Structure 1
Amino acid sequence: RIGFPAMDLPHLRYVTQAGGRMPPERVRDFAALADRQGWRLFVMYGATEATARMAYLPPELARTRPT
């Protein structure tokens, strides 16, 4: 919605996602974008009662195992 893929963010090192399930195709899209632009995508999982970040998907698996 905000045009994130077209933004020039040369100092961006990583992006995190938590708080709800991201559809696998969107994970793949963002993982591919991360590869092209040189940052890392961390998809995080956890119980909302405890915290939004109890575990994460390693960035190198985001394209092949996005769920």
Structure 2
Amino acid sequence: MNPEDLNKLVTFAMPFGKYKGRVIADLPGHYLTWFARKGFPNGELGRLLALMQEIDHNGLKPILDPLRK
């Protein structure tokens, strides 16, 4: 993991779907788990979604709070 990825989680907006426009850090856990089951998209988006799913699954969302602006 690149440390910059944590900043991207609180700034990168979901580009499609039901949660279009919502930053990745604010996506609901059930949506992240759905991606984990179905497969994450390719590229940076998929990598960030997978990272967020791990953070959410392990109860570590509070580590992102200081990064929010």
- TM-score w.r.t. the length of structure 2 is 0.30
Larger CA Rg, structure 1 vs 2: 1
- Judging by fraction of residues, say which structure has more strand: 1
- Judging by fraction of residues, say which structure has more helix: 2
- TM-score w.r.t. the length of structure 1 is 0.31
